[in-house]
Amino acid sequence: MTNSSFTDASLDHFSGLAPLFPLPNAVLFPHGLLPLHIFEPRYRQMTADALSGERLIAMSLLCPGWEKAACPQSPPIHPIVGLGRIIAHERLDDGRYMLVLRGLSRARVISEERTDLPYRIGRLELCPDQIPDKCDFDRRIRTEEILALYCRLFPGERFQRVIQQAMTVDLPLGAVCDMIASAVPMATELSQLFLDELNPDLRSQMLWQLLQKAACHKTTALERPFPPSFSRN
């Protein structure tokens, strides 16, 4: 098993700390785009602080049953998060923000920092892909199969142009799977399972099976626009 060398160069000097933004229905994949509508005061401050710093936010999926958490201000989250950078933002006249995050890496929450801030800060460990030394299928062929099936299921998606451009730089299987996963409709908990999986071969099998199931049941009606609509905090 080897670590992937395909990492975002902008994280070479990552401090290891990032604000945690817990939501019950949003998962950020590497290479994905996530629009966000920020309106709660604590997350307005989080956004302002992020913009004045590394511009990083760790999207954290709330665990089932979070509504009944003993500490309402810090409900439990899944330990694997999607670390993203703010690539576009607009501050509205009333102080709200509209953001677009670009996914950079999976990360594991090692601990949470004790601070006086109104939002949570996580100490993170970046999680590169763990690539098996041996594979029982041709990764390049699997990549082409996934792309072909995605394009057949979603023929009108503008995202296809992005995928075609990506293929010209020969992205690894794991990166392509993350890009596709960010654009297809998936249940939130399934998205988190996909995020949790560091083995890109297994991720590709998960995605391949999902797309095949969609093809068999002709579920192209489950269209999700790309980019997705703005998530609300």
Q: For the chain, give every residue range classified as CATH 2.30.130.40.
A: 2-129
pLDDT, averaged across the chain: 86
16, 112 in Cβ contact below 8 A? no
d(CA 103, CA 31): 5
Q: State the pLDDT at residue 169.
A: 62
Residue 183: count of CB within 10 angstroms of its CB: 23
Place of tokens 């801030």: 117
Q: Which residues pair with 111 in a beta bridge?
A: 123
Q: What is the pLDDT of residue 170?
A: 73
CATH class assigned to 2-129: mainly beta
193: which residues sit within 8 A by CB, 6+ positions away? 206
pLDDT digits (tens, 9 = 90+) for 79-105: 999 999 999 999 999 999 999 999 999
- At residue 229, the pLDDT reads 53
* Region 207-232 average pLDDT: 65
Question: Residue with structure tokens 């098996």?
Answer: 132
pLDDT at 70 over 70: no
Residues 135-158: what's their mean pLDDT? 85
pLDDT, position 157: 64
